[in-house]
A = this chain, B = another copy of it.
Amino acid sequence: MDNWLRLFPEINKLTFAAFHKELKDSGISSTQAPYLMCVAHFEGCSQDKLVKVLRIDKGCVAKTIKQMEERGYIERKPDPKDKRGNMLYLTDQSRQLVTKLKETEKKLKDTLTKGMTTEEVDQMIDLLKRAAANLYYAIDWDYPPMFCHSKFEKGEI
């Protein structure tokens, strides 16, 4: 079973497990963490932003955000410029969580790159970005990968 493609789900699951461990008693699940981080980074953004950045179905985003709003982790205001849209914000409660999550992310990066030189880390990131871009162009998917600035307005992603 020496198929290196399996390394991606493998690492994915391991990082999820790490988040899960850290967030056990925080009131938020490891699957919701990316939602929160995204809102933190793009405060006031639409739900559609999460769809594009996180590559999660819009139906799922709608349900999850609704739940997170009910539990007090996200505030949703109607967009004055577009009556269809919502604008997403952190709450006081979730702002603390975000700082904690950022620390967790940092720790996770340190763990993952343990024993690697800075050159190796840089090259790994570079290769992964190229891999993501390659896949995107081959697949003809809706949105370019996060790190492909090409089609995105203002290069804000």
Please list the residues of chain A having a beta carbon within 8 angstroms of any beta carbon in chain B. Answer: 1-15, 17-18, 21, 34, 37-38, 41-42, 53-55, 105, 108-109, 111-116, 120, 123-125, 127-132, 134-136, 138-139, 141, 145-147, 157
Could you name 13 residue pairs across A and B whose Cβ atoms are closer than 8 Å? A1-B146, A3-B37, A4-B129, A7-B147, A8-B128, A9-B34, A17-B141, A18-B135, A114-B138, A115-B130, A120-B127, A123-B127, A127-B127
| B residues near A136, Cβ cutoff 8 Å | 14
A8–B1 alpha-carbon span in the complex (Å): 20
With contacts A7-B147, A13-B55, A120-B127 known, what are 9 further pairs, Cβ within 8 A? A5-B109, A7-B128, A8-B12, A14-B136, A14-B145, A112-B134, A112-B135, A114-B134, A115-B134
**Would you call B138 and A10 a contact (CB within 8 A)?**
no
Smallest CB separation, A156 vs chain B (Å): 8
In the complex, the answer to whether B135 meets A1 with C-beta atoms within 8 Å is no
The residue in A8, A111, A130 that gathers the most chain B C-beta atoms within 10 A of its C-beta is A8
Among candidates B1, B7, B41, residue contacting A129 with C-beta atoms closer than 8 Å? B7
**In the docked arrangement, what's the CA distance between A115 and B138, Å?**
13
A116 contact set on B, CB distance < 8 A: 127, 130
